[in-house]
Amino acid sequence: MTRFVDNPYLVPFDGKWKLAEAPTTPPDDGNGRKKRKKRLEKVVGEIDDLQRRLYAENKRAILLVFQAMDAAGKDSTIRAVFTGVNPAAFQVSSFKQPSSEELDHDFLWRTARRLPERGRFGVFNRSYYEEVLVVRVHPEYLKGQRLMDPTPSDEFWANRMQSIRDHELHLARNGTRILKFWLNVSPEEQKNRFLSRIDDQRKNWKFSKSDLDERGFWKDYMHAYEEALRATSTPHAPWYAIPADDKPFLRLTVAETIRDALAQMDPRFPELASEKLGELGRIRGVLTKDD
Ligand code: ATP
Ligand code: MG
């Protein structure tokens, strides 16, 4: 039986999830920003400990997919949640407009090359999901993809979703645990964050005019997200729609979900066979004789 982390933000597997009902703000649970920041520190430590075990075990990997509208907090969440993780066992990949080489291949090729090795964390800042999100909102991009039939029909998108489900099932069967996070920011909060990118000189570099253009397609994006999350939230690769208007809550909830998934995986330090243990004992003897 496939195990998955069940929490209030899990997108159910019945294909009926309603994006409009997904909250963008935290529940009123009496926890303030300070408390959440404090708890995040603890959870970050727990992730670090579990990650050491996963690395030592060296059999399974974990893939964490982050998708969101601009300024929802992908970068800062990744930074905050993985501060404790050994950089040698951890790789973040960001996916922007595909290069000409990437367009020479099927749409899963460029991300497949960046999948985590056994024992490691792979973080995708955007992913193959862009192919059913930004490309769905702008179907004219398909013309540049050198496809046999670039008609953006319902069947076309359904086939892409099917490819994604098949791909994820294959990865899951072969030892990669997959968790996917959609950071659910409200259009009002996005506007505030854009304004602060304009007003705060240290954030100016983060703002681009195209972010404003994409904001104009908000409704189309929400439609694309709803369809994509409905079609691809599965027990072996669940989606979590996390309220993103409050950053401490967002970071803590993402961190807790990852911690819970790792705890379910229960990675173990390898146990040495008795002859190896005996050998270590002999080596210990040799080393301590020097003293
Ligand atoms: P930042 O936080 O730096 O803004 P970003 O991920 O938004 O990070 P940008 O360079 O601003 O990076 O934007 C990348 C753009 O590339 C996004 O608008 C995204 O939708 C687009 N993109 C990603 N994958 C694809 C794809 N397969 N086809 C077309 N566009 C894509
Ligand atoms: Mg951007």
List of domains in the chain: 19-288 (3.40.50.300)
What is the pLDDT, as a whole number, of residue 145? 96
Give the distance (Å) from ligand 2 centre to CA of residue 196.
15
Q: Which atom of ligand 1 is nearest to the CA of 214?
A: 18
Q: Which atom of ligand 1 is nearest to the CA of 208?
A: 11
Distance of alpha carbon 226 from alpha carbon 236, whole angstroms: 19
Q: Which atom of ligand 1 is nearest to the CA of 70?
A: 7
**Nearest CA among 7, 86, 93, 94 for reference residue 54:** 86
Q: Which atom of ligand 1 is nearest to the CA of 134?
A: 20
Tell me the CA distances in angstroms from 95 to 80, 89, 114, one per residue in order: 20, 20, 10
Give the distance (Å) from ligand 2 centre to CA of residue 211.
6
Burial readout 41-53 (b: 16 or more C-beta within 10 A, e: otherwise): eebbebbeebbeb
Report the amino acid identity of residue 159. N
Query: Does the model's pTM come out above 0.85?
Result: yes
Give the distance (Å) from ligand 1 centre to CA of residue 80.
21
Beta bridge partners of residue 242, listed in sequence order: 183
What is the pLDDT, as a whole number, of residue 1? 60
Distance of alpha carbon 284 from alpha carbon 53, whole angstroms: 24
For residue 51, give the H/E element and its range.
helix 33-57
Give the distance (Å) from ligand 2 centre to CA of residue 111.
19
What is the pLDDT, as a whole number, of residue 90? 93
Sheet of 239-243, strands arranged across: 90-94, 121-125, 61-68, 176-184, 239-243
> Mean pLDDT, consecutive 10-residue segments, the chain of 291 residues?
91 98 95 94 97 97 98 97 93 97 97 98 98 98 95 97 98 98 98 95 91 97 98 98 98 98 96 91 91 69
Task: Ligand 1: list residues with CB < 6 Å.
Answer: 70, 75, 94-98, 126, 130-131, 134-135, 141, 208
Distance of alpha carbon 81 from alpha carbon 68, whole angstroms: 17
